[in-house]
A and B are shown apart, each in its own frame.
Chain A
């Protein structure tokens, strides 16, 4: 991609002010809850307050007579509807498909987690619907709940789903053929370091709670669903084809301004299907606005792995094998992409940045009476990075070697690099990242800073972490082989208007990433016109081509590439038109700075002259090309992209209280080429804070009966402004991705992937410096956990 004229056009490499900010800053954004349709009714979901129970009877008679109640729906109303589908089928170690339970729109016979909806009251007002819910008499017989994964796998454990053989969703081994070799390598190793750890369950907590509005037009038979989604086409396909049997041409899904997603708004949720269905049944729009309390009980949750990892080293400290054993919580149902997270998005990253020749990953996925677990910022890669980088740090301590030197010694240095876990890294330079980190973080000055902290009665530690992740998901034929029930291409339509302005319709979805600003930079650069001439449309299946949406840091790598391909087609056609008008051959036409010229002559045409000719084709090559200037491209990537990074964190620990404060956080990321550095900085800041949140304070906690203890912001500790410092981030001078046209890798998840081990490594380093022999503390590393560890170690 040309970069030379970036500054002229607000193109690649520039950081223009974000366009979407004007409406967000002036209160004129259009989020789903801001939409109110004429005649809309409101639904309130009655949710289970126990984790497991058998529905004996529901007495609706009194509730149905309450003021304003239009209709009360139960599971029986959805007996002909499909199951909320899972989009990924994992095959277990023995070649069998995973166990896949039915997930009804409303509970039919059982409730399976606190928050599971078993009745839906539609009324004239939200308050009337809530009032009526209290008049429903539910006879639900409480059954024993399984919450702990190990207990759920015991013989005779209560089953979450009666019709399944056990609570084991699947037992996955990867790479299964390497199992024996890995076992042998560990047996014969000069040194083996083992860490057992918990990757704590999280709640994604996008600030905008979910909303769904169903609308039905009896005159046309068309359904519209307004929903808080990261991928409206995926919802249209899943809900239309698998749940409600509505063909796509009769179903429009609109995801307008969406207030953050982080993965939690990828999935097709029961409430979306309910509102779509009820709107037709009642012939009125039906609106649901999730409260935060409901969000804690119904948004897919995250992480929740219990892992044992072993790292084998030879006598020269070369990594020879990695073996992991993980229990991964699926919750009560399989959310849309849940099975892929602890498997293909986790196991394939267990080589990390290192040339470990042998890796074996075992994952047992378990059903429990808890909210479903699915992807959240990083999705499998944070879990992989956390355990790998914790065990490496521990190995360095056990061996008495420098943790940076141990990492450097084992870095992959030649690219492309075929890992032993299927993926092939196309590019990277881990040593250079580490060089940059050491300089930017001023690691040389750490000893002095530690002395200063100690003078103030604090312990100071530094934590280092390296990571690589797989983004830009994904090659459709590859993921199809791995169990995906979808393709993972992306689409773009570039519509050039007669007077030269451009509308780009993308299948990607922006919910904070700034696509409306960034995507025009790419097209502007290619044509050489000002970015202000380009507008982005997204989020409405009625006017955008079929796309897979935004997650997995895929928008610029896959969606951006689709835009490049469509724009290339536009340029090729425009050159033909220009060649005709200037009586030259197309091969001699050059496009630069929005001007078509004939090589070796002084003939030229402006961009607008050619676009006008396309729509007013009086002097036009009608025998060669059609009028108009609009092209669509679908881009299916050849490989994942592989962003990598090296992070450093310095913490202070107050030995009196165990409180950890983040004093410095420095990142060196390789995102390949960067389109908008300002946006990328912001993505890293946000990811780091989510990771720091997981490491220090966030924890989704259930009691033994399956009651969610952390069900509000008073109990689930979100990072606040005073929990984090200013960050020092660097993503300059990356190694370009070799297989997409922009050379981009994606930046959305790196911060969340790289930060948790950095923080915990730093805390352990601080405690060790104070003479506390504490090898590990599970996240969140709260003051009470730190203090307790210090008393023992």
Chain B
């Protein structure tokens, strides 16, 4: 079987793969990084979004072999080494931007890519950017609010969606 190596969350990672092994399968099954989720098989839901060389990618749309030599960042690498959540993760908790948690890793990784490109997005820009991430629990209200808050914008005027104490 072919061999692949890449850098995942700052660490060297390698493994044996089949040609058809998807990046998400490599992450979940070979490396045991099960934070990246699989919610569909048509690249619609976005639960599997990771960053490859700094760009948001649905890791179900890419073969593991295509990521050879790349730098891959997943949800597991987002918090500080001591476990402190990053700004986006913390905003999701503060504004109740997740319920069952299944779409959450993809949402956080997409939000992170958005804010890198567009540090102060409007509500409409956030909603538009998230078209590729489906959430069935939250109605997106608190996800959008959390991302706006993570961008440093004042969300106190947004109706509804009580924040955590």
Contact = CB atoms under 8 A, between A and B. Distances in A.
Interface of A: 10, 14-18, 20-29, 31, 33-34, 36, 127, 205-209, 257-260, 262, 289, 291-293, 511-514, 677-679, 681-682, 685-690, 712-714, 718-722, 724, 726-729, 751
Nearest to B88: A25
Given A208-B100, A260-B99, A292-B45, A29 B165 contact: no
A759 B105 CA distance: 31
Contacts of A26: 35, 75-76, 78-79, 83, 85, 89
B37 A208 contact: yes
B54 to A, nearest CB: 19
Contact of A685 (B83, B123, B138): B138
Interface string B91-123: 011101011111111001000000000000001
Contact of A721 (B102, B130, B137, B158): B130
B47 to A, nearest CB: 6
7 contacts: A15-B163, A18-B93, A21-B92, A208-B37, A293-B41, A682-B161, A690-B136
B100 A206 contact: yes
Interface string B29-51: 10001111111111011010000
B142 to A, nearest CB: 6
Given A681-B160, A722-B124, A27 B34 contact: yes
B159 interface: yes
The 3 nearest A-B residue pairs measured at CB: A27-B35, A24-B101, A259-B102
Contacts of A21: 92-93, 98, 101
Contacts of A23: 101
A28 B42 contact: no
Contacts of A677: 162
A689 B137 CA distance: 9
Given A720-B140, A727-B161, 9 more contacts: A27-B75, A31-B34, A260-B102, A292-B39, A293-B42, A682-B142, A686-B138, A720-B127, A721-B128
Contacts of B142: 681-682, 685
A208 B135 CA distance: 10
Contact of B165 (A15, A209, A257, A728): A15
Contacts of A209: 38-39
Given A20-B101, A127-B20, A728-B160, A721 B165 contact: no
Nearest to B134: A718
A455 B158 CA distance: 26
Do most interface residues of chain B lie in helix, strand or loop, or is the interface mixed?
A: loop
A83 to B, nearest CB: 30
Interface string B149-165: 00000000011111111
A27 to B, nearest CB: 2
B108 A727 contact: no
A514 B79 CA distance: 22
Greatest chain B CB density within 10 A among A23, A260, A751 is at A260
A34 B35 CA distance: 8
A690 to B, nearest CB: 7
Contacts of A24: 98, 100-101, 104
Contact of B34 (A33, A208, A686): A33
A512 B99 CA distance: 4
A678 B163 contact: yes
B47 A207 contact: yes
A16 B165 contact: yes
Given A15-B162, A718-B136, A512 B101 contact: yes
B131 A721 contact: yes
B18 interface: yes
Contacts of B18: 127
A17 B94 contact: yes
B126 interface: yes
Contacts of A28: 35, 76
A729 B142 CA distance: 13
A649 to B, nearest CB: 14
A361 B108 CA distance: 47
A720 B78 CA distance: 25
Contacts of B59: none
Contact of A713 (B33, B40, B89): B40
Given A15-B163, A714-B42, A259 B92 contact: no
Nearest to B143: A721
A17 B94 CA distance: 6
A289 B36 CA distance: 15
Contact of B100 (A259, A688, A724): A259
A712 B126 contact: no
A34 to B, nearest CB: 4
B151 to A, nearest CB: 15
Contacts of B39: 207-209, 259, 292
B36 A686 contact: no
B93 A689 contact: no
Contacts of B136: 205-207, 260, 262, 686, 690, 718
B31 to A, nearest CB: 12
